[in-house]
């Protein structure tokens, strides 16, 4: 099993103002992406905390708040926050609830920084860890630094148990041995992250997706702060473990056979077809050499359907190969739709950045 870059450090030292002592790192521009769904009570304290942490950040930064079709007062709270803090606070409203993965992808598409950080909008992730994670990403020449909620402040049955199961399933199937796949606090190199697209509920598998475009040795984990939820309700429960299993099957297939699906389906088809052929050959021998009656034997139906299933899988592999060629030769469609046009959301590259004084 592949071991990611493993050294872990303690959370950054916090000075009395609540801001971290920024570690030195190369020049960059930082984009924070925060998906929110029905988090109206968390918007104001989230923005307050982000500005406490990054108010004196010596590099340009922006924050992209993605409203995932909330039906409470979240959109109004986001607009108020934008008016209060300025143009570096960018608000993106999705037309309906496309779920967290699509909301995160929308924010990534809108981000302009060379470094992208993602975190939840429920205040359980603490932005104070971001400068330290960014410094490690750039100083150690990594593509991903993922948060590890070592002292997670959640209920055991509905949150910790499903995550424990999911983390082990994902690590075993993908070979990327992270201790906490579910932590939304992650820091990426933008050029690497943009080489993958997130669909369905694939945000849990971002390290696995990145392993298809970069080496797992360029990924690391970092111990991060984690707080109990104060406002709002969790959108997750133990039922998500079943969805993780289904998504994991696709990830396993995609990581190993995305460019050669004919080998996956064709291999299974040949095996099943050969098994069915062996069954029919056995029955044929009984019929012609021993004179036994095979018409009423259930094994005849088993052999027949195994051969049919094998043929279907082989032809499915051929069709999948054709679709793969089309996929690689065409553009990617987006898993979301915004309320405003791209032109209305666009901003000149040299505007809308916040920068403090070192």
pLDDT digits (tens, 9 = 90+) for 116-159: 999 998 888 899 999 999 999 999 999 999 998 887 766 566 56
Name the residue with higher pLDDT: 275 or 233: 275
Asked if 29 and 61 touch (Cβ cutoff 8 Å), the reply is yes
Q: Mean pLDDT across the stretch 227-253?
A: 66
Is the predicted pLDDT of residue 13 greater than 70, yes or no? no
Best CA proximity match to 74, nearest among 59, 62, 92: 92
pLDDT given for residue 108 in this prediction: 95
Best CA proximity match to 145, nearest among 154, 153, 155, 135: 135
Task: Report the alpha-carbon distance of residue 308 to residue 315 in Å, rounded.
Answer: 11
Q: Mean pLDDT across the stretch 255-272?
A: 83
Task: Report the alpha-carbon distance of residue 240 to residue 245 in Å, rounded.
Answer: 9
Residue % of the chain over a pLDDT of 70: 80
Max CA distance (Å), the chain: 94
Is the predicted pLDDT of residue 40 greater than 60, yes or no? yes
pLDDT given for residue 151 in this prediction: 76
Tell me the per-residue pLDDT of 173-226, one tens digit each, with 9 for 90 and over. Answer: 777 778 888 788 999 999 999 988 887 777 778 888 888 888 888 999 999 987
pLDDT given for residue 79 in this prediction: 94
CB under 8 A, 24+ apart: contacts of 72-79: 72/38, 72/40, 73/40, 74/36, 74/37, 74/38, 74/39, 74/40, 74/43, 76/40, 77/40, 77/43, 77/44, 78/36, 78/43
User: For residue 236, how many other CB atoms are within 10 A of its CB?
Assistant: 13
Residue 237 CA, chain-centre distance (Å), reads: 18
Asked if 35 and 105 touch (Cβ cutoff 8 Å), the reply is no
Tell me the per-residue pLDDT of 61-88, one tens digit each, with 9 for 90 and over. Answer: 999 999 999 999 999 999 999 999 999 9
Task: Report the alpha-carbon distance of residue 202 to residue 128 in Å, rounded.
Answer: 26
Is the alpha carbon torsion for 52, 134, 122, 34 positive or negative?
A: positive
Asked if 133 and 147 touch (Cβ cutoff 8 Å), the reply is yes
pLDDT given for residue 344 in this prediction: 57
Task: Report the alpha-carbon distance of residue 319 to residue 316 in Å, rounded.
Answer: 5
Is the predicted pLDDT of residue 234 greater than 70, yes or no? no
Q: Mean pLDDT across the stretch 312-340?
A: 73
**117: enclosing H helix or E strand:** strand 115-118
> Please, which pLDDT band fits residue 312 given cuts at 50, 70 and 90?
very high
Question: Which of 11-20, 136-145, 252-261, 304-313 has the least mean pLDDT?
Answer: 11-20
User: Taking phi first (over 0 means left), then psi (-120 to 50 degrees means alpha), and beta for anything else, what does residue 18 get?
Assistant: left
Judge residue 255's burial from the number of C-beta atoms within 10 Å of its C-beta, 0-12 exposed, 13-18 middle, 19 or more buried: middle
Asked if 119 and 227 touch (Cβ cutoff 8 Å), the reply is no
Is the predicted pLDDT of residue 14 greater than 50, yes or no? no
Q: Each residue of 1-36: b (16+ CB within 10 Å) or e?
A: eeebbeeeeeebeeeeeebbebeebeebbbbbbbbb
Task: Report the alpha-carbon distance of residue 61 to residue 85 in Å, rounded.
Answer: 13
Task: Report the alpha-carbon distance of residue 82 to residue 50 in Å, rounded.
Answer: 13
């Amino acid at each position: 099993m592949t071991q990611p870059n493993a050294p872990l450090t303690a959370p950054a030292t916090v000075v009395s103002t609540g801001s971290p002592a920024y570690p030195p790192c190369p020049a960059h521009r930082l984009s924070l992406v925060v998906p929110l769904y029905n988090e109206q009570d968390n918007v104001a304290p989230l923005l307050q905390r982000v500005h406490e942490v990054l108010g004196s950040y010596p590099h340009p930064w922006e924050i992209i708040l993605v409203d995932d079709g909330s039906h409470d007062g979240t959109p109004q709270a986001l607009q108020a926050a934008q008016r209060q803090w300025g143009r570096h606070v960018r608000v993106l409203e999705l037309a309906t609830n496309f779920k967290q993965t699509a909301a995160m992808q929308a924010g990534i598409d809108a981000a302009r920084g060379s470094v992208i950080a993602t975190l939840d909008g429920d205040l359980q992730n603490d932005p104070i860890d971001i400068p330290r994670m960014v410094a490690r990403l750039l100083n150690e020449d990594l593509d991903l630094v993922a948060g590890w909620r070592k002292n997670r402040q959640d209920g055991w049955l509905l949150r910790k148990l499903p995550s424990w199961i999911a983390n082990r399933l994902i690590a075993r199937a993908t070979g990327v041995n992270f201790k906490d796949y579910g932590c939304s606090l992650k820091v990426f190199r933008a050029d690497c992250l943009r080489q993958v697209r997130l669909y369905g509920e694939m945000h849990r598998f971002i390290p696995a997706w990145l392993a298809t475009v970069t080496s797992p040795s360029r990924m690391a984990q970092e111990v991060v702060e984690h707080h109990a939820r104060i406002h709002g309700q969790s959108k997750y429960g133990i039922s998500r473990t079943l969805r993780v299993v289904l998504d994991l099957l696709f990830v396993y297939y995609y990581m190993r056979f995305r460019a050669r699906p004919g080998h996956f389906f064709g291999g299974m088809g040949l095996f099943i077809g050969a098994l069915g052929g062996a069954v029919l050959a056995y029955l044929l021998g009984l019929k012609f050499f021993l004179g036994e009656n095979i018409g009423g034997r259930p094994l005849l139906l088993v052999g027949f359907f195994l051969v049919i299933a094998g043929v279907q899988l082989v032809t499915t592999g051929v069709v999948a190969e054709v679709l793969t060629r089309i996929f690689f030769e065409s553009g990617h469609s987006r898993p979301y739709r915004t309320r405003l046009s791209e032109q209305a959301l666009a901003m000149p590259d040299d505007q809308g950045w916040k920068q403090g004084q070192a």
